[in-house]
Amino acid sequence: MSAVLPPELSELVTAAREVRERAYAPYSAFRVGAAVRACSGRVFVGCNVENKSYGGTICAERAAILQMVSAGETALVAVAVFTDAETLAMPCGLCRQVIAEFEQSAQVLAANPREFKLLAFSALFPDPFVLSR
């Protein structure tokens, strides 16, 4: 699968796949790993962290972005999401808005062990909320 991806995207898929092993998903049993590449080239990873209040759950994509921002980076060029689900998991609506906060012409890659889908973030989320007064 990753053989047809450029190395920088293949590396992101591998990172997302590895961090998925640390997902904390006792309520849904749906384990997600995400990796983002900052403009600097650095890679940050996150897994979903569920909570018994349900609403306190943090998605893998946002967990990865929190790591990126905490490291002092506020621009990203690629996001990879890895699950083993039958249907590829694209970032949820809330994560899309959070990605929109930091993306710079980002690519989004959703993958499972069998296939992947690569698209421009602008195609996935063409009209984000903009705060303008």
Cα torsion 111, 89, 80, 70 to 10°: value is: -150
Selecting among 18, 50, 61, 101, the annotated active-site residue is 61
Amino acid at 98: V
Residue whose C-alpha is closest to residue 83's, from 59, 56, 113, 109? 113
| 30 scored as a contact of ligand THU (CB under 6 A) | yes
Per the document, the length of the chain is 133
| 65 scored as a contact of ligand THU (CB under 6 A) | no
Site string for ligand THU, 32-61 (x = CB under 6 A): x---------------x-x------x-xxx
Helix axes 60-70, 7-20, angle to 10 degrees: 110
Which residue from 95, 106, 108, 111 is in contact with ligand THU, where contact means CB under 6 A? Answer: 95
**In the complex, which residues of this chain contact ligand THU (CB under 6 A)?**
25, 28, 30, 32, 48, 50, 57, 59-61, 91-92, 95
